[in-house]
Amino acid sequence: MNEPVLYESKIKNVAFGKDVKVVQPVNVYGCTIGDDCFIGPFVEIQKDVTIGSRTKVQSHTFICELVSIGDDCFIGHGVMFINDLFAKGGPARGDKTLWKETKIGNNVSIGSNATILPINICDNVVIGAGAVVTKNITEQGVYAGNPAKKIK
């Protein structure tokens, strides 16, 4: 019987602002997290991610490379950010030139279990729980559904 290679979740090479609270276990590395942020347990934040000040990231959320989140945002439980659209019919398999960026504005709330594809979301937007955001959001409002559409 073979033994697996074991890795531990950890915090490594992170630029933290003042008064950041992190509930372990988390896997957070190579990113920048602004002042007064909260990072819940079972969160992964990958390298080259930037999170603005006073933003809360709830448990079980995955924030992949190339994501930027503004100030005063709320990221609900289990939110998944995607940077690989399987442009060649499957995973990029390390070809990061195929990955795309996501930019989230200020004062954006994203409900639990939403999926955010590589898009831009302007300031002052609410994304409903379970929504799948497939296109840029350029107008303030509340968006929900799959694919997400403006509902108010």
Residue 40, CB-side half-sphere exposure with 13 Å CA sphere? 15
Which domains occur in the chain, in start order? Answer: 11-87+97-150 (2.160.10.10)
Residue 14 and residue 88: Cα distance in Å, rounded?
32
DSSP secondary structure string for all residues of 93-145: TT-GGG---EEE-SSEEE-TT-EE-S-EE-SSEEE-TT-EE-S-B-S-EEEET
pLDDT digits (tens, 9 = 90+) for 60-111: 999 999 999 999 999 999 999 999 999 888 998 878 899 999 999 999 999 9
Residues 6+ apart with CB under 8 A from 9: 24, 25, 26, 27, 44
Residue 146 and residue 130: Cα distance in Å, rounded?
8
pLDDT digits (tens, 9 = 90+) for 112-136: 999 999 999 999 999 999 999 999 9
pLDDT digits (tens, 9 = 90+) for 15-57: 999 999 999 999 999 999 999 999 999 999 999 999 999 999 9
User: CA angle, corner 98, sides to 93 and 101, nearest 5?
Assistant: 120
For the chain, the farthest-separated pair of C-alpha atoms sits apart, in whole angstroms, at 57
Query: What pTM, to 2 d.p., does this model score?
Result: 0.95
